[in-house]
Structures are given as C-alpha cells and as structure tokens.
Amino acid sequence: MNGTPGKPATLADVMAQALAMEREAVQRYDALADVMEVHHNREVEALFRKMAQIEAKHAAQIAAEMGWTDPSDEPPSGRSPFAADGPESIPEDAVHYLMWPWHALQLALSAEQRAEAFFAGLAVTAPSAAVRQAARRLRDEEREHVALIRAWIEKTPQPGSDWAEDPDPPRYTD
Amino acid sequence: MNETCSAAAVPVHGDYKSKTKPVWCPGCGDFTVLGAITRALAALGLPAHEVAVVSGIGCSSRIPAYTTCYGFHGVHGRALAAGTGLKVARPDLTVLVTGGDGDGYSIGGNHFMHACRRNVDLTYIVMDNHVYGMTKGQASPTTEPDWDNKLSPGGTGIRSFHPLVIALASGANFVARAFSGDTSGTARIIAEAIRHPGFSFVEVLSPCVTFRPEQRGWKELVHQAAVDPTDDAARAARRIMTDDGFNLGVLYAGARAPYPLKRTGTPCEPAALEAPFACGEGAA
C-alpha cells in the first residue's frame, strides 16, 4: 500500500520530502535487487540495481541544488516511521522470482507515475506559491522519468504468457 | 547482537535491519512484516541492544537474523518457551517472539495457550499463511478444510484452528490482526502491542506466494475493523468469532495484570533442592 505524504509548507519542506522519497526508492530498489540476487534472477537484479543508482542520482541532485552537503544541513523530512511507503517505492509484494526485466520496468513505470501524480496534486493544492512552483518542476521531472521508462520498455523484450512456468517448480501441490 | 547498530541518537527503521539478505521468496509477506517490526521499534525509539527477537522454525522464524537486535533462533515450536525464559531472566529487555502458523499453533500449540495464560510481558507476532511453506506446502492448523492439493486431496476436511479465539480464551491481554500488505498499519499495531502490558498477540496475515499464490488476493479482502478495541473479553470473543477473518485492527486490549517479573519469595539454592534426592556416599 503506497501512501501520500503530508503537505509541505515551505520550499525546504517540499525538497526534503522529495529527497526522502528518492532515498526510500533507492532503499527499496536495492532490497529488491538483493531478493533477486538470492533467487538467481540476475537480469532483474541488474535492472533494480540500475534503478537504485538512477534514484540515488536524483537524490544527490536535490541535495546539491538545496546546498545540503551534510545530513545535518537537511531539514526533517516529516516522515513518520508509521508512514506508508512513498509514492516512488515499488511494493515489496509485487515481485516474482521468475519476473522479467519488462515486468520490473512496468513496476518502475507505475512508481514514477505515482510520483508524478503526487507532485501534480501538490502543484495545485499547496498553500505556498514557492511550494507549488517547486512541485510543478518536480512533477515535470517525474514526467520525464515516465517518458524515459516508457522508451526503455519499448526496447525491452516482452515475456510470453508462460513466463511464470518453472520446469523445476518449488511447489508440487497443484 | 547480530551487528552493531547505528549510534544515531534517534534510530530509524533501517538501523534495525541487518546486512543478512533474506532468503524468502520474492513477494513473500514476511518482508513487509520485517519492515513493520523495524518501523515499530524506530517509532518507539528502542535501542536495538535492548530488544531480543526470539523464534522457532519456519520461513518466518528466520527474522532474528535479519535484525540488528539480539536474536535467538530456537527449536521448532519452542519460541514462546525460550522467549518467556528470557523475559523472566531479563525483564529489562523488550522481547518479541516471532514465527509462523505451523510453529506457533501446531508444534508449539501448547506453549501458545500457556503463554497467553501466564501473561508474561511479551509480544508474539505470528505470520500466518495457512501453510507449511518451508517444507513445501503441507496443510497447517489454519489451512482451510477444503484446500485441495496433492498432499491432502480434497482438503483435510478438518476445521481450521482459530488463533485469535484461542488466545482470548487462554488469557492473552492484547489480541490483534494485521495484514502484511499494509506495512504502516502493521507497524502501528506491533508498536501498540509492545507498549501494552502483558502477553500481546498479533496475528499477521502474510501471504505465501509460492504455495498459496491465491493469497495475493488477500489485499482485496482485508478491511479495517469498524469498531474500536474493547477491554470486554466476551464482546471481543463475539466479534472475533463472527468476523470474516480479514478484519484488521486491535480487537481486544485487556487490563489483566502481567505476570510479576520480580520474585517475591525466598530464593532456594540448587543444593538445597538436590539434597533430598542425593544417593550414594554422603547421602543423608
């Protein structure tokens, strides 16, 4: 279940929230890459690692843009430990041990679309003009990511309907 | 402890995750339960070295290795016995006992009832997937009687165990149901269970995507309890016995005094206990 973070009041707040979302996405992609590594799905592992690197770059860009060179410079993200997953994180239960890179990209696409929708909403509803402006820019960046992933999917082989058939299945209870 | 945790003054949930990579199947509900436990510990600000995670045997019982807390991966069905001993010996520790439905309700079924009855201040988190996953898909105590598969053709025909009712009837002081697909809600319930005095039981519906792939559909079935928790055991029993099994939330929060962890009697030296049974040379 992906949640919607609360509304930021200042430019620093919205950028801190965006930074937290990117970092959460990095952690989740890394965790999913670990899962695929353990289950010897090397192609999807590599894709999730690549996505983690891309999200880490976005996080670094946000921090650099705000002049936050040290974690102590950053304002609190306002994220409670009880907060639902951020919009840019892939749900942990959405993966399969035989999934193809195409499936992984579909999940990444959904995550970017959720992030775009989040910032689009903020661009309209945030009380501060500075936050709305920043949200519009972040929305446009997420929109670019959506387009990039769509292009990536176009170049990625699509699995057939039998992709989940395992000739040596872990289960024999069918 | 499995690894040294962050020295940060305010712990974050990542501080409670060890570097050991889980071997659970991709998509397994236990990943998010691990995340919920670490979030609950972060929310409560409990240092990892003041928490012990005790388990038995099964897929979900691997959890201690995946945390930076103290851990004990014990024998099958005996997690509650080990956890109880630890809590009585070290009341200063927060003790979480974790496991699955086979470990907790079958092999450890008797320990489950008596742990509820004793009401020692523990939190018991059961990841229930209605199947023995680690041993390749046999029916467990919570498996539906009509689950048809090669190992139990036509289903076992045996009525499912109802852990929440058993917990309540046996004296658990806190009874809740959560769903692994809702990390945030599960974290809140686990935090509340830890805070609640006495024996707290949290049943987490945690799909086994390998042997019960149809359980991915549970996310469409779960719903939040429509009413607030009650401290009336009879009312809670009626609710739990008549719900659909997908009702999430704290279903009972009682006020029974926990088992006292400080002994009040006069300690007896082991030698004094052994004396009447001594035989051979030197026997009285």
Instruction: Report DSSP state, residue A161.
Output: T
pLDDT score at B200: 98
Record the tokens describing residue B239, joined without a space. 């609710």
Residue of A nearest to B28 (CA): A93
Q: Would an 8 Å CB–CB cutoff place B156 in contact with chain A?
A: no
Query: What is the amino acid identity at position A48?
Result: F
Phi then psi for residue B99, to 5 deg, are 170, -170
Tell me the C-alpha distance between A96 and A100, whole Å.
9
Of B207, B210, B216, the CB nearest to A170: B210
CB burial readout A50-83, b (16+ within 10 A) else e? bbbebbbebbeebbeebebeeeeebeebebebbb
- Tell me whether residues B184 and A1 touch, CB distance under 8 A: yes
Phi then psi for B247, rounded to 5 degrees? -85, 115
- Residue B76: count other Cβ atoms within 10 Å of its Cβ: 15
Give the residue from B6, B21, B147 with the most A CB atoms within 10 Å of its CB, the best one to mutate.
B21
Contact B190, B36 (CB under 8 A): yes
First CA to last CA across chain B, in angstroms? Answer: 46
3-state secondary structure chain B: CCCCCCCCCCCCHHHHECCCCCCCCCCCCHHHHHHHHHHHHHHHCCCHHHEEEEECCCCHHHHHHHECCEEEECCCCCHHHHHHHHHHHCCCCEEEEEEEHHHHHHHCHHHHHHHHHHCCCCEEEEEECCCECCCCCECCCCCCCCCCECCECCCCCCCCCCHHHHHHHHCCCEEEEEECCCHHHHHHHHHHHHHCCCCEEEEEECCCCCCCHHHHHHHHHCEECCCCCECCHHHHHHHHHHCCCCEEEEEEECCCCCCCCCCCCCCCCHHHHHHHHCCCCCCC
Q: How far apart are CA B260 and CA B16, in angstroms?
A: 29
A172 in B contact zone (CB under 8 Å): yes
Say whether residue A2 is in contact with chain B using an 8 A CB cutoff: no
How many A×B Cβ pairs under 8 Å? 89
What phi and psi values does residue B94 have, to the nearest 5 degrees? Answer: -85, 120
Tell me the shortest Cα–Cα distance from A90 to chain B, in angstroms: 11
List of chain A residues whose C-beta atoms are within 8 Å of the C-beta of residue B155: none
pTM, rounded to two decimals: 0.91
Query: Could B21 and A82 be called an inter-chain contact, meaning their C-beta atoms sit closer than 8 Å?
Result: no
Percent of chain A at pLDDT above 70?
Answer: 94
pLDDT of chain B along its 284 residues, tens only? 555 444 456 788 889 999 999 999 999 999 999 999 999 999 999 999 999 999 999 999 999 999 999 999 999 999 999 999 999 999 999 999 999 999 999 999 999 999 999 999 999 999 999 999 999 899 999 999 999 988 899 999 999 999 999 999 999 999 999 999 999 999 999 999 999 999 999 999 999 999 999 999 999 999 999 889 999 999 999 999 999 999 999 999 999 999 998 767 777 888 888 888 888 766 65
Q: Decide if B145 touches A, using CB distance below 8 A.
A: no
Residue B149 or A149, more confident: A149
Give the side-chain half-sphere CA count within 13 A for A68.
18
Asked if B26 lies within 8 A of A96 by C-beta distance, the reply is yes
Q: Which of B38, B132, B183 to mutate to test the interface with A (most CBs of A within 10 A)?
A: B183
Question: Structure tokens of B229?
Answer: 């928790």
* Residue spans per domain, chain A: 11-71+97-154
Q: Is B187–A94 a contact, with Cβ atoms under 8 angstroms apart?
A: no
Stretch A75-102: mean pLDDT? 90
Asked whether residue A8 carries a pLDDT value surpassing 50, the answer given is: yes
Pick the CATH number of A11-71+97-154 from 1.20.1260.10, 3.40.5.90, 3.40.50.620, 1.10.287.1260: 1.20.1260.10
Structural domains in chain B, sorted by start: 13-277 (3.40.50.970)
Exposed / middle / buried, residue B250 (Cβ in 10 Å: 0-12, 13-18, 19+): buried
State how far residue B33 is from chain A, nearest Cα, in angstroms: 11
Q: What distance in Å separates the CA atoms of residue B56 and residue B188, rounded to the nearest whole number?
A: 24
ipTM comes to 0.89
| Residue of chain A with shortest Cα separation from B31 | A92
**Partners of residue A92 in chain B, C-beta under 8 Å:** 27, 31-32, 35
Does A69 score more than 60 pLDDT? yes
The two most distant CA atoms of chain B are separated, in Å, by 72
What's the mean pLDDT in A121-128?
A: 92
pLDDT band at A81 (very low <50, low <70, confident <90, very high): confident
Closest residue in chain B to residue A94, using alpha carbons only:
B27
Q: Which residue of B has its CA nearest to A32?
A: B26
SS3 assignment, position A85: strand
A38 interface with B at CB cutoff 8 Å: yes
- d(Cα A101, Cα A104) in Å, to the nearest integer? 5
